Amino acid sequence: MFKGSLVALLTPFTAAGKVDEKAYQAFVAWQIEQGTHGLIPCGTTGESPTLSHDEHNRVVELCIEVARGKRPVIAGTGSNSTQEAIELTRHAKKAGADAALVVTPYYNRPTQEGLYLHYKAIHDAVELPIVIYTVPGRTSVDMTPETMGRLAKLPNIVGVKDSTNDLGRPFKTRRACGDKFAQLSGEDGTALAFLAQGGHGCISVTANVAPRQLADMHEAWARGDVKKAQAINERLMPLHEALFVETSPAPVKFAASLLAKARPDCRLPLAPVMDTTKERVTTAMRGAGLIN
């Protein structure tokens, strides 16, 4: 089962707008060194919607090259085209990923039956563990616990990244899917509360810039040191909030630039963050003890 602090990796770009392969692999290595428990390339934070297919596949390969045998890699392979998602998942398996993170199809707005058939088709086409990613704020569709329970009966549907921010959901999901179904929060600000409701970990944006702190928080929770986990969570809360005052990943890429880990640039249509956002992120980074 996947658990702990997993990072939704950002994708660094060069000044010319290309994927910065050297910076990316150095960033993955730093995440491992800092104690992050799992790595997710090519998710929303990795700007998958604006990566070409060749770039997408290459980024997955770059991550696996560094992480193989050290940390699990859950490659983002979702699409609103079922066939495209199958092809990306096939590549992830060939590259050596430990699992695929498959977002609910955006824009199409499928019914619950459509969602079931979409995931079943990917499951049946590629023998690789699949983590469902439900994020209604991005996709305009939510998978119900009942539909998830149907999918959990398939042997390679192993978990969910839950970005509903519904803290009643972990109980409902556990009831529908069982205790072995990995429940990973997709919301940094409520990740600790998600654990308290029966979750197993978080696929985090903030872990891009605070990997050691978030690994420590999850480890503290796992050994029953609730006070330490709460203290870390409280210290990071202003940063969790600051990283979402504009559309992610623009704020977290700016935050990473303060650590000299990546340029702040995102691809259009995401714009550079405003000066007020820069100030808020910088203040939050200082408050978290990440910069002087």
Catalytic residue among 161, 253, 261, 278, which? Answer: 161
Chain-centre distance of CA 286, in angstroms? 24
pLDDT of residue 69: 87
pLDDT in tens, 241-267: 999 999 999 999 999 999 999 999 999
Catalytic residue among 24, 119, 133, 278: 133
Query: Is 24 a catalytic site residue?
Result: no
Q: Is 261 a catalytic residue?
A: no
Label residue 216 by pLDDT band (50, 70, 90). very high
- Per-residue three-class SS string for 92-156: HHHHCCCEEEEECCCCCCCCHHHHHHHHHHHHHHCCCCEEEEECHHHHCCCCCHHHHHHHHCCCC
Q: Assess whether pLDDT exceeds 90 at residue 1.
A: no
Q: Averaged over 267-285, what is the pLDDT? A: 98
Condensed to tens digits (0 to 9), the pLDDT of residues 85-140 reads 999 999 999 999 999 999 999 999 999 999 999 999 999 999 999 999 999 999 99
Domain spans in the chain, listed from the N-terminal domain onward: 4-225
Q: How far apart are CA 19 and CA 54, in angstroms?
A: 11
- Please return the burial class of 41, using the count of CB atoms within 10 Å of its CB with bins 0-12, 13-18 and 19+: buried
Task: Identify the pLDDT of residue 167.
Answer: 96
Residue among 174, 177, 183 nearest 202 (CA): 183
Kindly report the CA angle at 26 between 16 and 251, in degrees rounded to 5? 60
Encoded tokens for 23: 């910076």
User: In angstroms, rounded to a whole number, what is the distance separating the alpha carbons of residues 125 and 186?
Assistant: 26
106 contacts: CB under 8 Å, gap ≥ 6: 80, 138, 139, 140, 141
Give the rounded percent of residues in the chain with a pLDDT score beyond 70: 100
**Strands laid side by side in the 4-8 sheet:** 38-40, 4-8, 201-204, 182-185, 157-162, 130-134, 99-103, 74-76
Strands 130-134 and 157-162, how do they pair? parallel
- Per residue in 174-209, pLDDT (tens digit) is 999 999 999 999 999 999 999 999 999 999 999 999
- Among 157, 192, 194, smallest CA distance to 176 is for 157
pTM above 0.95, yes or no: yes
Answer CATH for 4-225 from 3.30.1360.70, 3.30.1240.10, 3.20.20.70, 3.40.50.170: 3.20.20.70
